[in-house]
Chain A
Amino acid sequence: MSTKTDKIDRLAELTAQSETSTGSSLWVEAMRRLRASKMAVIGGCIIGMFVILAVLGPWVAPYDPTAQLWRGEVRTNQGIFIGMRGENWFGLDHLARDQFSRILVGARQTLLVGIVSTLLGLAIGALIGTVSGAAATLGGKVGGRIDSVIMRFIDMMLALPSLLLAVSIAAMLGQSITTVMIAVGVVQIPIFARLLRGSMLAQGGSDYVLATRALGVRRRRIVLAHIVPNSLSPVIVQTTLSLATAIIEAAALSYLGLGNPDAAVPEWGVMLAQSQKYFDQAPMLAVYPALGIIITALGFTLLGEAMREALDPKLRS
């Protein structure tokens, strides 16, 4: 079908090939390859720095990010607003708040939105994927029908452009940070569902599942103790990749004004949106949050792609 579903299916297929056939255990092997990969190391460093910022941000920020530091006239200098003395590193924003502190504290908000929405998509998507995958592998004819109904619906969701879907959901729920999390999370649901189901299908056809059935083990246990745990590697890769898209999509929604209406809490997407009006005088106001979003998303993408490669036995040397 589309390249989106193709990409998901290709990732799902990795599960079947990676487990067996090699002598050493999958994870040991994958970790070794991951550590040798430049992409993974760079991605990991970026993510590490971002997480440290997000955790420590409020404590290391030189100023209160919501405090108006200057009530007089602002000047611009080299593309930023500055106050009287010009001691703020990234300058001030249009309300004379310290931009550096806002970027630092905003990192936490961005990470939070990314994680919560991805976990939401993962949890619901994995649940649907597990049901569908279990029905398809061990549910017999009835299960097959249940699976195809679920998957039709999932494929329909996948066929919609994700930003359009997110905007529609956000528009329905009204402006808030929760709205952004839900909208971005819902967009991830079909991806995780199709991925886990595909991965389970590949595992479900394997000999060890047949062997477990031959033992007379109950179906619920076969699914939960064997098929699902062995199907998770592609899901872990996708979770990393999804963090990147979630951060970008959350920023996009905030930028479109669907996020937190209370601009007091700094958030990169909102900051980007607000900087727009002042772009002529202070373009750097847009550059800082934009760079934050791009670099962070790049970090997760690099690590995710490196993990995908580490998992792919065809690339194994």
Chain B
Amino acid sequence: MSLLELSDVQVHFPIKKGVFFDRTVGHVYAVDGVSLSVEAGQTYGLVGESGCGKTTLGRAILRLVDITNGEVVFDGTDLAKLPPEEMRRQRSRLQMVFQDPLGSLDPRQNIESTLAEGMEAHGIGADKAERRERILRILDKVGLPENSLSRYPHEFSGGQRQRIGIARALALEPDVIICDEPVSALDVSIQAQVVNLLEELQEELGLTYVVIAHDLAVVRHISDVIGVMYLGSLVEEAPSDALYAEPKHPYTRALMSAVPIPDPSVEDDRERILLQGDLPSPSSPPTGCRFHTRCPWKQDTLCDTERPVLTDLGDGHKVACHYAAEIAAGTVVRAGEAADEDDAKEGREPASVVAP
């Protein structure tokens, strides 16, 4: 069994209105039925554009938001059903690194207190001196100087603050760390350092990661498996290499076409897919396939009526698209690109026609 198994996790935030009695007038379907599993010692990369529910899913795993429905089974226990005090005790095993390094640190708390707080809550370390010793070891591990102990968050640079965030998570010796866009708030020049640090720590400590990112470039190298999210659910999941070699969901292909490639010759003839329109509101998601309002491959049947489920197309490459196989085979082509494709490659079916 996998270390972490999510099945049909849903997080719906109620939208409240009313002066005297709060009425629920609707829901934000932030996470709407996600199933995935993470193997011990591996890294699961979670990608998708901003607002698609990645952060909410990450928080749901740690039960920092209320889980509306579904199971989060960690090491055999369903966290979604644990009583609060037991959940609190489990927290030492699952930790989180936050997107905003400064915002996630209490401005009035020095670094020693920040790092000791979790240990105190879980009774790690007999006394202050022992905890300090552990903290110093962890600071060394994440590359922060000893004199950080008595300093305050605002005295550090962005990269250092994120190292503090990582150290805080490590202090509890967790099995799993959820990294929510761990480098997106940092200067490009130091992003790689922090990613490398995360990799080194994983190797040394055997950590399991869920790394969240809004573009594929960040998670590519460190992930074993990547899941692509759109509007609250997974649209594609595959081993990292397979996903890059052959993205199968139209949304993934669009995301991929947005990643810059340094080589100009490759840059010139690769597929470019510009998505039309904005991300629909998660409070009134489109019917059928959630992506049909923007999908260049959208067909007249099924797409706007039936919600596709994540289906394994072989070798663990899972896709939630009614026409994934046809698109891969080239029997269903993009509406806009039809003429070009016909010119370039002969013998193609006309555009937007479903092959029998």
Footprint of B on A, CB under 8 Å?
Answer: 19-26, 148, 152, 206-208, 210-218, 221, 226, 229-230
Contact = CB atoms under 8 A, between A and B. Distances in A.
Interface stretch (B104-112, B216-224, B239-247): B104-112
A230 B106 contact: yes
Describe B's contact surface by its main secondary structure: loop
B98 A207 contact: yes
A24 B22 CA distance: 40
Interface in B94-116: 95-96, 98-100, 102-109
A215 B172 contact: yes
A19 B152 CA distance: 13
Interface string B64-96: 100000000000000000000000111110011
19 contacts: A20-B107, A21-B102, A22-B154, A24-B154, A206-B103, A208-B104, A210-B104, A211-B96, A211-B104, A211-B105, A212-B117, A213-B64, A214-B64, A215-B117, A216-B92, A218-B88, A221-B121, A229-B108, A230-B108
A206 to B, nearest CB: 6
A208 B117 CA distance: 13
B104 A216 contact: no
B231 interface: no
Contacts of A22: 154
Given A24-B154, A207-B98, A211-B96, A216 B91 contact: yes
Contacts of B22: 148
Nearest to A203: B106
B122 interface: yes
A213 B92 CA distance: 11
Nearest to B122: A216
B122 to A, nearest CB: 6
A139 to B, nearest CB: 11
B107 A25 contact: yes
B118 interface: yes
A214 B108 contact: no
Interface of B: 20, 22, 59, 62, 64, 88-92, 95-96, 98-100, 102-109, 117-118, 121-122, 152, 154, 165, 168, 172
Contacts of A206: 103
B154 A208 contact: no
Given A23-B154, A218-B88, A210 B64 contact: yes
A214 B95 contact: yes
Contacts, number: 71
A152 B19 CA distance: 10
Nearest to B101: A207
A216 to B, nearest CB: 3
B152 A25 contact: yes
Given A211-B96, A214-B64, A214-B95, A20 B103 contact: yes
Contact of B104 (A19, A24, A152, A207): A207
B118 A216 contact: yes
Nearest to A227: B106
Contacts of A23: 154
B88 A216 contact: yes
B107 A207 contact: no
A226 B107 CA distance: 9
B107 A217 contact: no
Contact of A216 (B98, B121, B154): B121
Given A215-B118, A218-B88, 13 more contacts: A23-B154, A208-B105, A211-B105, A212-B106, A212-B117, A214-B62, A214-B96, A216-B92, A216-B118, A217-B118, A218-B121, A226-B106, A230-B108
B11 to A, nearest CB: 15
Contacts of B104: 207-208, 210-211
Q: Which 6 A-B pairs have the closest CB atoms?
A: A216-B91, A215-B118, A207-B104, A207-B103, A211-B104, A208-B106
Contacts of B154: 22-25
Contacts of B98: 207, 210-211
Contacts of B64: 210, 213-214
Residue among B22, B62, B92, B121 with the most chain A CB within 10 A?
B121
A216 B120 CA distance: 10
B248 to A, nearest CB: 35
Given A25-B154, A210-B64, A216-B89, A20 B117 contact: no
A202 to B, nearest CB: 13
A215 B108 contact: no
A213 B154 CA distance: 21
B159 to A, nearest CB: 15
A211 B168 CA distance: 9
Contacts of A226: 106, 109
Contacts of B105: 208, 211
Highest count of chain A CB atoms <10 Å: which of B95, B152, B154, B165: B154
Nearest to A141: B66
A218 to B, nearest CB: 6
A283 B95 CA distance: 73
A302 B323 CA distance: 69
B101 to A, nearest CB: 9
A206 B153 CA distance: 15
A21 B153 CA distance: 11
Nearest to A217: B121
Contacts of A212: 106, 117
A8 to B, nearest CB: 18
Contacts of B20: 152
Contacts of B59: 210
Contact of B107 (A26, A215, A221): A26
B172 A20 contact: no
* A19, A215, A217 interface centre (most CB from chain B within 10 Å): A215
A148 B18 CA distance: 12
Nearest to B59: A210
B10 to A, nearest CB: 18
A217 B100 contact: no
